[in-house]
Amino acid sequence: MTATTNPENANEPSPALLLRLYREMVRLRTLDERMMTLQRQGRVGFYGACTGQEAATLASAIAFEPDDWIFQALRESSAMLMRGFSMITYLCQVFGNEGDITKGRQMPSHMAGRSVNQVSWGSCLGTQLPQAVGAAMAARIKGEKMVVAAYTGDGATSEGDFHVALNFAGVFKAPVVFICQNNHWAISVPTSKQTASESIAIKAQAYGMPGVKVDGNDAVAVYRAVKAAVDRARAGQGPSLVECETYRIGAHSSSDDPTRYRDEREVEAWRKRDPIEQLRGKLVNDKHWDLPRDEAMRAELLAEVNAAIDEAERKPDPPREGLFDDVYAEMPWHLREQREELLAAPPVPRPDAKQIAGK
């Protein structure tokens, strides 16, 4: 199955799964909208929203089992929440405060959680792909039935890591599923400047694995394609490449101004294909959902997100002396001296959220 569209297979999502997926997609949209507002208010330093790509992100991730590992790119962190990760702890990684399980040392919006088998993405594009293949090979050597999700954007397919990872996985039949979120823009560079191929999916042919292209805004199509690839990998039949054609409605990140490089008419055309609205329409048409329940759910999710933000934002900064922890097994004399010097200096007070928002 190579470079086809919306493959027919037996992996039909149940109504219960689609309802859960819809809730997760709406929660993600709600969270992203609130966090972008906080960034504009100066309450967090950086954030990357997933707006317009919720189906490609979550409908693919839900096709994996809880014991499978996810090696994410920029916009898949939210799969952690779907896997049961605490939203408060998740947000603490954005704030980089005392509640951050990475102790405030990670870059913002690089969320990760060992408890849900999800690895942080790297700002150097594509580096997670060979790592994902390595994890998949390790699982196979250990006799585990684990499958690894290896996410990438269209821009990272121009990196050498993409080709190294697919080649190795293809040769050694690694139990890994490569998922490319082709949102048409690698920051300001369009996909047409990334490849002369007719698609990303067709590249799978060169590496001896199936490649399939699906409508990334169609949650059902995404789930079908990824679930088939996951089942194939778990059965020992090797890797696959799934290209989800979608669109980044907003900016690349809170540091980006997309009006400088793309036509707003293109954005509006894709906005009419909103993946959340498409899934809601299907659920309503199939008599599994209705407007009153939708309104109640959205109000509930907004309250959940606001409560999580409020609790996460109240946590203090990590202790200053934590800078010197985990560097050496035994702290050397020069770090002990620096630590003592730091502790002797008065801390700089941090303004609270209300002070920041009021400026």
Contacts of residue 259, defined as CB under 8 A and 6 or more positions apart, other chains included, come to none
Is 248 annotated in the active site? Answer: yes
Contacts of residue 265, defined as CB under 8 A and 6 or more positions apart, other chains included, come to none
Is 27 annotated in the active site? Answer: no
| Catalytic residue of the set 40, 261, 336, 350 | 261
| Pair type for strands 118-119 and 69-71 | parallel
DSSP string of 168-211, one letter each residue: HHHHHT-SEEEEEEE-SEETTEEGGGT-SSS-SGGGGGGGTS-E
What is the number of other CB atoms lying within 10 angstroms of the CB of residue 95? 22
DSSP string of 281-328, one letter each residue: HHHHHTTS--HHHHHHHHHHHHHHHHHHHHHHHTSPPPPGGGGGTTS-
Dmax (CA) of the chain:
69
The percent helix, strand, coil of the chain (3-state, each to 5) is 50, 10, 40
| Catalytic residue of the set 43, 110, 224, 248 | 248
DSSP code of 273?
T
DSSP string of 7-40, one letter each residue: ---S-PPPHHHHHHHHHHHHHHHHHHHHHHHHHH
Return d(Cα 114, Cα 217) in angstroms, integer: 29
Tell the burial category of 156 from Cβ atoms under 10 Å away from its Cβ (0-12, 13-18, 19+): buried
Return d(Cα 269, Cα 258) in angstroms, integer: 15
Name beta bridge partners: 241. 178, 211
The phi, psi pair for 213, rounded to 5°, reads: -110, 130
Question: Tokens at residue 298, please?
Answer: 């959205």
* Residues recognised as catalytic: 248, 252, 261
